[in-house]
Amino acid sequence: MPKTLEGQITMEKTPSYFVTKEAPARIYAMSRDTKLIVVVRDPVTRAISDYTQTLSKKPDIPTFQSLTFKNRTTGLIDTSWSAVQIGIYAKHLDSWLQFFPMRQILFVSGERLISDPAGELGRVQDFLGLKRIITDKHFYFNQTKGFPCLKKAEGSSKPHCLGKTKGRTHPNIHPEVVQRLRDFYRPFNMKFYQMTGRIFGWEE
Ligand X SMILES: Nc1ncnc2c1ncn2[C@@H]1O[C@H](COP(=O)(O)OS(=O)(=O)O)[C@@H](OP(=O)(O)O)[C@H]1O
Which of 172, 202, 188 has its CA nearest to residue 65? 172
Torsion of CA 44, 88, 179, 57, to 10 degrees: 40
Q: Which of 147, 173, 190, 195 binds ligand X (CB under 6 A)?
A: 147
Regarding 99 and contact with ligand X (CB under 6 A), the answer is: no
Regarding 130 and contact with ligand X (CB under 6 A), the answer is: no
Residue window 110-129: x/- pattern of binding to ligand X, with contact defined by CB under 6 A: ---xx---------------
* Whole-number Å distance between alpha carbons of 90 and 187: 9
Which residue, 26 or 141, is less far from ligand X as judged by CB? 141
Which residue, 28 or 54, is less far from ligand X as judged by CB? 54
Which residue, 19 or 113, is less far from ligand X as judged by CB? 113
Which residue, 54 or 104, is less far from ligand X as judged by CB? 54
Interaxial angle between packed helices 43-57 and 175-196, expressed in degrees from 0 to 180 and rounded to the nearest 10: 120
Asked whether 124 and 108 are in contact (CB, 8 A), the reply is: yes
- Interface segment toward ligand X; rule CB under 6 A; list 16-24, 26-34, 125-133, 161-169: 161-169
Regarding 166 and contact with ligand X (CB under 6 A), the answer is: yes
Regarding 49 and contact with ligand X (CB under 6 A), the answer is: yes
Site for ligand X in 173-202 (CB under 6 A): none
Q: Which of 148, 178, 184, 189 binds ligand X (CB under 6 A)?
A: 148
Quote the distance between the C-alpha of residue 42 and its chain's center: 9
Asked whether 1 and 10 are in contact (CB, 8 A), the reply is: yes
Which residue, 135 or 194, is less far from ligand X as judged by CB? 135
Regarding 82 and contact with ligand X (CB under 6 A), the answer is: no
SS3 110: helix
Regarding 75 and contact with ligand X (CB under 6 A), the answer is: no
Asked whether 177 and 64 are in contact (CB, 8 A), the reply is: yes
Give the CA radius of gyration of the chain: 19
